[in-house]
Structures are given as structure tokens and as C-alpha cells.
Chain A
Amino acid sequence: MKHKLRLMTLAFASLPSLAAAADLGVDATSLIRLEERSVPGFKDENVVPATQFLGVDLDKLGDGNLSFHLHGWGRVDLAHRSTDEGTTDGDLSYAYLAYRFPKADGLVRLGRFYVYEGIAAEQLDGVSVRGDLAKGFTASLFGGAPVRLDITDRNKGDYVVGGRVGFRVPGILEIGASALREGNTDTGQTANLKNYRQLVGGDIWLAPFRMIEVRGHSSYNTATDGFAEHSYLVLFQPLKDLSISAEYNDYRLKDYFASTNLRSLFNPDKGETLRSYGGSVTYVIAKPVEVSADYKRINYHGDNHGNTHRYGGEVRLTLADRKVRAGVSYHRADSNRADVNSYHEVRGWGLYDAAAYFASLDAIAHFYRQSIDTRSHDYEFVGSAGYRILPNLAFSGDIAYGRNPRLDSELRGVLRLTWNFTSTSKGAAK
């Protein structure tokens, strides 16, 4: 926590030096939650956490291509503790300087940021570089220290490096090869673990015909010598308003879970595999009505596991120039094992978003095949209403009530103040 506060202080302290920025953007959301938790057999408990989310973007610094981006949050519990940790908490999600080159989509980042490149999805304190090369090639590199969790200082390695090389044929093909290495990871009590995480992988986008696209990636864990994942998606769009998709996923958990810091939960030592496949259909009946249906079969191979069908559908309405949006959905998780529960999920929601006022209603319920703690179902209703005091300053409040197997009743209120400021008009708001 102290480390995070230091980082946030450092980040905020750097702001005055950048105050001459041409463009300033601030996103601030203040949330106060008021919750009453009623656990069977225990005294009711009130929790009142106050959370501040803050994002700052300074653009057009220096020669106009330099920018600074920051986002984080801090929380104070005003009544009982809201989590198992302390009464205060905070996190710096990212704080980095970025330099965007006018050509080749070149980008250099320095600081704390997230990287999504091929098989890599990492948060690190370090540097990243990317750019488009001639003849359709692209390249990216990153390196630094992985951002650690509060719970222990040893669940991540001392450094992480990686990158991706891609090749594109305009409108038809993109293939990529990516790699990642995290060094000096903690092996804990398990003697046969490697003290590094190392993955290599490939990704593809292929559009052989106008109406067909294939996307996907595979990753190979070189620390455990095995393929961790194959995930592929095929999209077929025979008509403008009709989309059909098929997906296939294959995981070897020995290799996929190898780098977890929760080995008791994600146990990679059982030699299990998981394969899933399915598809979906989406049809826009008329501009305001979108109907979709999906199905997924999950085959979990290993002791005490089985197969599950997941399927369902959703109808979405968009009316009055998108001011009114609504949807209803039904989904089912149906396991073939008696000791794994199954459930139905039903949801309905509606939203009205006008210039000054906005309001929404949301209801969700689950019906279980086997009762959990004597309850066969749960439900939650959420109502929300808000007013835009200024175009970029809005106040809103939610009230939620639910019953579930854990709690006799759960009553929650949320007060929310949102301020989105930009010093200049830069096109669409982000």
C-alpha cells in the first residue's frame, strides 16, 4: 500500500512540470457505496466505502507528439471494513509518458502501463516500443518489472521482456509471432518448478473471402514443454445484418496454469485438458432490434470433471436515436455431472439516456438445479437515476436489492459523481 501511495504521489508530483500542456483531460468518478449485509446467524453489517477514481491525460506536450496518461483509485471505509484487508486501499493502474510518431504508428511508452501484444497481456513498470515496418511487417518490444500484487511480494518475477513481430497482406492476412519471458519467479515450496515463465505463440487474422474471417492464437509454454492454448474464431457474414461465428478452444492445464500464483485453486499438476467449441448467430431484424443466440460445449477432461452445455439468447432494442436501449436474455449452464450444479439465468434491463436526465432498471435471477444452502434461486434488482448538472458533470444514484444463498438480503445504495473534463475539443470523447 505504501509503495502504491508513493507511486501515486510521485505521479501527481510530476503534474505541475507538465502544466504547460496544450491539452488536458481529467476523468474523475467519486463513488460512495452504502451496503447492508445480512448474513444468516450473524449481526447485520453496514459498510460505507468511499472510492475516488481519477484519470489524467496531458496531450500535445513538447513537440506535440508527447503525452502523459495516469489512472488510479483510492478507497476509505467510512464504516465497517468493506474487504478482508485494511480500511484504506488504492492502486495506480497506469502512469506513463507516451511518444506517438506521426508515421508508422510508432509509439514509445515509459512508466507503468499495460501491454497487449499477441500472447502477452501484462502490466509492467518499464518501456515499450512499437511500429510498422516496410513491406507489411510490424514489430513491438517491451521490457520492465512486472507489477506485483499486495498479497505477497514474491508472486511475480524480477523482470519481464517480450515482443511481437507481425506480417500483413492488406485486407487478407495478418500473422504474428510473439514471445514473453518473466525471470526469477518464486517457486515456493515446489522444488520441480522452473523459476521463469516463458511463452511463445502465434496469432492469425485471415479473410480469404469478403464474408469470412478467421482469428485466433496458439501459445506454447517452453518452461513446461507443452502447448498451453489454441483458441480460434471463425466469422461468417453472409448478409450485412447476419453474423455467424464458430469457436474452438483447447487448453492443456499443465502448461496453461503453470505460472499461477494460486496453485491450490488452479492446479496444473493433474494433467487435465479442457476443450470447448461452439458458435453464435446474430441477426439485426430491423435497425432497432438485434437478436442473438449462442451455444458452447465444454469438455473438461480429468478426475471429477465432466461436460457442460452453455446456451442462450438475447434480444436488444435500440430506439429514439440510441436514447432508449433495452434487452432481455436467457442463458443456461447445464452440466452432465450430478456433483456440479446447473443453473438458468434470466435478465432484463432498460435504459433511458437523454441530454439532462438518465435512468435505468436491471433485473437478474438465477435458478439452480440443486439448492445451495437451502435456496434454489437468487435475484437482484438495480434501479438507477441521474442528472447532468453540466454536460460534463453528472450526479447519479443506484439502489439495489437482492436475496441469494449467502445473504438473507443485500441492500446497496451507490452515489456517483462523474466529471469528464477536456480543455479542447479533440473529436469523439473517449
Chain B
Amino acid sequence: MRRIKLLSLCAAFAGAMALAACTHVISQETSLPSWHPEALGEGRVDCSECHEDKVKGVLKPYASFSHTPVFVKNHRFYAGEDGRLCATCHKPSFCTDCHANELEIKPSIRYGNRPDRELVHRGDYLTRHRIDGKIDPTSCFKCHGRTNNEQCVACHR
């Protein structure tokens, strides 16, 4: 019984020490907000319209995240490092509109009322994929190499 008490005491002490260490190891900075506090206009946002400084949580200039054509085209780099900043304005379903294990509808059909959005495979892509796949198969692999390829299997067995 005494041994159990001693072990419990040791465990409690170790826990308290770990907690104390964590409070020193973990940043004391306030987290990013869950929502952008102000309503944003439609279309691509330009963060530098209102912000000049660095984003507190990710320590990078706001201008880095303005949704320019380069940003939109290369958003995978931003998602890999600063996904929590994306989550301030976007729900995960914004990503799964295009990047999903199983996609029900081509994004450009689902959002046929949003021609301003950069959505892949517009028009007759079934014909065009034979060309793009021969030119650069890595562009197909990113989304269809391991996931979202149930329709590919219908022909490519």
C-alpha cells in the first residue's frame, strides 16, 4: 500500500514537473482568432488593403497572404506551413470542394454560378486530360495518384 502511495506521489510530482516544463516550452502568445473579425468582400482578398504589419500567429507579412494569381496557383505551399491562418477565413470544406478522397461533382459544375473562382478542369476535361497527362503526369498525381481516382480506374486498370 505504501509503495502505491509512493508511486502515486512520484507520478504526481512528475506530472507537475512536466506541466511546469510545458508552460515554459509552450508559447504564451494568444492564438489566432477562429474567424476574421470583419466581414470580407466577395472575390479575392488583398490583406494589405487593411493590414500593414506581420500576422501575429505566423510571423509573416500580411501581404504574403494576399490572394494574388500566384498565391492562388501555389496555395499548397501556404497550406503546408500556415494552414491555421487559412482556417481563420476558410472552413475545411473550402479545401474539400476540390481536394477530397472522393469528389462527387466536378468543382466547376458544382459552382457553375462562380466563374470567378479558380476551379480545375473547366470545359471538356475528359478529352483534354489525355494531353495534359502526357505533358506532365505529376500535375495529375497530386490529386489522383493515391486518392480521388475511382473514375480513373474505370479506364486505367
Q: Tell me the A residues contacting B by CB distance below 8 Å.
A: 27, 29, 31, 33, 51, 53, 55, 57, 59, 69, 71, 73, 75, 83-85, 89, 91, 93-94, 100-107, 113-114, 116-121, 123, 130-134, 136, 147, 149-151, 155-156, 166, 168-171, 174, 176, 203, 205, 207, 213, 215-217, 231, 233, 235, 237, 240, 243, 245, 247, 249, 251, 253, 256-257, 259-262, 264-266, 274, 276, 280, 282, 290, 292, 294, 298, 300, 305, 308, 310, 314, 318, 321-323, 325, 327, 333, 335, 340-343, 347, 349-351, 353, 358, 360-362, 364-366, 372, 378-380, 382, 384, 386, 396, 398, 400, 402, 404-407, 410, 412, 414, 416, 426-430
**A215 CA / B112 CA spacing, docked (Å):** 32
Q: How far is the CB of A263 from chain B (nearest CB, A)?
A: 10
- Interchain CB contact (< 8 A) of A430 among B57, B89, B141, B153: B89
Q: Is the CB of A400 within 8 A of B112?
A: yes
Residues of B near A406 (CB, < 8 A) are: 124, 126-127
Contact A59-B34, Cβ < 8 Å, known A155-B146, A282-B68, A384-B113: yes
Q: Is the CB of B150 within 8 A of A251?
A: no
**A29 CA / B139 CA spacing, docked (Å):** 29
Contact A321-B41, Cβ < 8 Å, known A147-B101, A266-B141, A360-B113: yes
Q: Is the CB of B31 within 8 A of A104?
A: yes
- Interchain CB contact (< 8 A) of A260 among B24, B124, B146: B146
**A168 CA / B58 CA spacing, docked (Å):** 8
Q: List 7 additional contacts besides A256-B141, A264-B156; criterion CB under 8 Å.
A: A33-B105, A57-B91, A203-B80, A217-B80, A262-B144, A342-B131, A405-B127
Residues of A near B27 (CB, < 8 A) are: 103-105, 131-134
Q: Is the CB of B99 within 8 A of A105?
A: no
List 18 contacting pairs A-B, 8 Å CB cutoff, sorted by A: A33-B109, A53-B110, A93-B92, A105-B27, A123-B147, A149-B101, A257-B145, A262-B149, A265-B156, A298-B135, A327-B115, A340-B134, A360-B112, A366-B128, A372-B127, A426-B34, A428-B36, A430-B35
**Interfacial residues of chain B within 49-74, with CB under 8 A of chain A in the complex:** 54, 57-61, 63-64, 68-70, 73-74
Residues of B near A360 (CB, < 8 A) are: 112-115
Contact A257-B102, Cβ < 8 Å, known A69-B91, A314-B69: no
Residues of B near A243 (CB, < 8 A) are: 68, 70
Q: How far is the CB of A120 from chain B (nearest CB, A)?
A: 8
**A404 CA / B126 CA spacing, docked (Å):** 10
**A236 CA / B130 CA spacing, docked (Å):** 35
**A358 CA / B42 CA spacing, docked (Å):** 12
Residues of A contacting B: mostly: strand
Residues of A near B61 (CB, < 8 A) are: 171, 207
Q: How far is the CB of A279 from chain B (nearest CB, A)?
A: 9
Q: Is the CB of A91 within 8 A of B92?
A: no
Q: Is the CB of B35 within 8 A of A427?
A: yes
Residues of A near B69 (CB, < 8 A) are: 280, 282, 290, 292, 294, 314
B4 within 8 A of A: no
Q: Is the CB of A103 within 8 A of B26?
A: yes
Q: How far is the CB of A362 from chain B (nearest CB, A)?
A: 4
The chain B residue sitting closest to A211, CB to CB, is B63
Residue of A203, A253, A265, A318 contacting most chain B CB atoms (<10 Å): A265
**A131 CA / B113 CA spacing, docked (Å):** 38
**A335 CA / B41 CA spacing, docked (Å):** 40
Residues of A near B15 (CB, < 8 A) are: none
Residues of B near A325 (CB, < 8 A) are: 42-43, 116
B90-117 CB mask vs A (1 if < 8 Å, else 0) is 1111111001111011000110111110
Q: Is the CB of A134 within 8 A of B26?
A: yes
Q: How far is the CB of A304 from chain B (nearest CB, A)?
A: 9
**A349 CA / B112 CA spacing, docked (Å):** 11
Residues of B near A396 (CB, < 8 A) are: 113
B67-86 CB mask vs A (1 if < 8 Å, else 0) is 01110011011111101100
- Interchain CB contact (< 8 A) of A340 among B94, B124, B135, B144: B135
Q: Is the CB of A93 within 8 A of B96?
A: yes
Q: Is the CB of A51 within 8 A of B105?
A: yes
Residues of A near B34 (CB, < 8 A) are: 59, 100, 426
Residue of A75, A166, A262, A333 contacting most chain B CB atoms (<10 Å): A262
Contact A118-B92, Cβ < 8 Å, known A85-B150, A364-B122: no
Residues of A near B112 (CB, < 8 A) are: 360, 362, 382, 384, 398, 400, 414, 416
Residues of B near A104 (CB, < 8 A) are: 26-29, 31
